[in-house]
Amino acid sequence: MNYKVYAPNVHLFAFCLKRSANSPADSGGKENDWLWQRGDDIISKTLNYKLNLIRLLAKNKQSDNPRLSLKATKPNDDDDAISVQGTVSLDSQPIGITGFVYPLRIYDSYGLWLNLRRPEKENNFWLNLLYPKRQNEQKTEAVDIQLLRQLNPDNCLMLKEGDNFLGQTLLITAYLTPEYNPQDQQMLKKLADECLKAFFPENYTPPPFSGSSQLFGSPIFEYGLFSQISNYRHILVWLFRDEEAGKNFNICYQELLDLFFHRVKVVNAFQESRYAYQEAAKFYRDKITTKISETTNLNAQEKRLSATELEDLKVQAKSLPQTALEYTKTLQDLETWQNIINIHGDNYNNKIALIKSILPNTDISFLETFGQKNSHFFQEQIRADLRYVNHGSGLLDKAIASIRVRLEIDQVEIDRELQNTIQVVGVGIGTAGVAATLIPYMIQQNNSPTPTPIPFAYSLIFSLGFGVMAAGFTMGCLDLWQHYSNKR
């Protein structure tokens, strides 16, 4: 079956950080031109036209507005977009294509809104020949949806990871032709699937369908699952029942552009948070639990640690604070992504409120879902992650505290034993000295006529003996005192 639609459009909303990954943070750092180069590539491949987008930009523009067009405007030029046009071939027939490139700076990032479309009207060649002074336009005919593939040669509209690329949203719009029943949801879903299939090259797997709803009174179909967040791609197929949806889209296009930006920032932050959480969980499993186990084994010993074990414990006491610092940095990364999600989630909801004020009687519940449901889920997931990994910080703090207590206890015991040893040795030496002084007098008082050993030998032997006895007696007294002290 050949599916046809009227005036199909392809909108690319892509964003990257303003500064290159390897550039310094000061104002002299290198600007990130990756996005403008991708825009040139797309225009070159689709329309065979060399745009040279960078030369058409004024990146030094200043404004208090967080969203600023970077087009280098001319006098009396109020258009923020750069128009492009050309032809593509469909069934060997040239088809006129128009579009625009809207480069902008938005907060800390660059944005590119690129549009390629089959216009609703185009100039009538023969009428222009007959009436050259009149603007003669006629409604274009419906085209086969295979035209969408001609607008995406080599899948160039699906940008790959580049220099600080944040993400993108692809929006395909088309007016329904009379043969479609605008109330037949099953048929419209089939048409949306076929549009997506036609848009991509052969053998390319499109993102899976995630849901459908109504936006501005026309059916919209969404593709891309957050359960596949590491390979998430976001595509919308919006089928206009009438001109009302197109008019409302044009009325609040700036707000929709902001919505897509905040959405991309939230999704990108959640993607990055998954990597941060994996790093934190790995750190917790591989480093913290290992160190805690080693510390617990040493602390579990009731006897006093050996000199080697004590030295190992001292090494851990020095290394654990550094481990805690590294782990804290990992947790801070996770908290940073959480804050980004909170900020841009709030900004997204604020833009929703603004659109409601512009179009008060229009149902935009489809757009509200992301801010109310998905962004909230991301926040809750990170909170749960933090509850798990923060447990590691508590364990590290307890391990450091227990090591310090064990070191203090063992050190006190070592100091006490050293003090006791000094006391025992001191008593022994003192007693020996006193004995050495008294022995000569005792020898001189001996009136025995038998020869006596050399007084020095007597003095040495007796003084050592008295010194050893005094030291033993002192050691016994100290042990007895320590025994009764421990019992108390």
Which residue is associated with the tokens 């080697």?
308
Query: Within its chain, how far is the Cα of 192 from the centroid?
Result: 33
Cβ(452)–Cβ(440) below 8 Å: no
Cβ(105)–Cβ(96) below 8 Å: no
Q: Strand 165-175 vs strand 234-240: parallel, antiparallel, or unpaired?
A: parallel
- Distances in Å between the Cα of 156 and the Cα atoms of 45, 160, 459 are 8, 9, 106
Provide the residue ranges of all domains of the chain, joining segments of one domain with +: 4-251, 269-414, 420-487
Longest dimension (CA), the chain: 163
Give pLDDT tens digits for 39-63: 999 999 999 989 999 999 998 888 8
Which residue is associated with the tokens 């936006």?
215
How many whole angstroms separate alpha carbon 85 and alpha carbon 77? 19
How many whole angstroms separate alpha carbon 165 and alpha carbon 159? 9
In 3D space, the residue among 332, 353, 335, 331 whose CA is nearest the CA of residue 343 turns out to be 335
Give pLDDT tens digits for 164-181: 899 999 999 999 999 998
**Out of 9-13, 138-142, 222-226, 419-423, which region has the weakest mean confidence (pLDDT)?**
419-423
Q: Is 105 helix (H, G, I), strand (E, B) or coil?
A: strand
- Long-range contact pairs involving 25-28 (C-beta distance under 8 Å, separation at least 24): none
What predicted TM-score, i.e. pTM, was given to this entire model? 0.79
| CA quadruple 221, 226, 228, 233: dihedral sign | positive
Cβ(170)–Cβ(235) below 8 Å: yes
Cβ(118)–Cβ(8) below 8 Å: yes
In 3D space, the residue among 165, 168, 151, 166 whose CA is nearest the CA of residue 236 turns out to be 168
pLDDT at 2 over 80: yes
pLDDT at 315 over 80: no
How many whole angstroms separate alpha carbon 254 and alpha carbon 231? 28
pLDDT at 406 over 70: no
Q: Name the average pLDDT for the chain.
A: 80
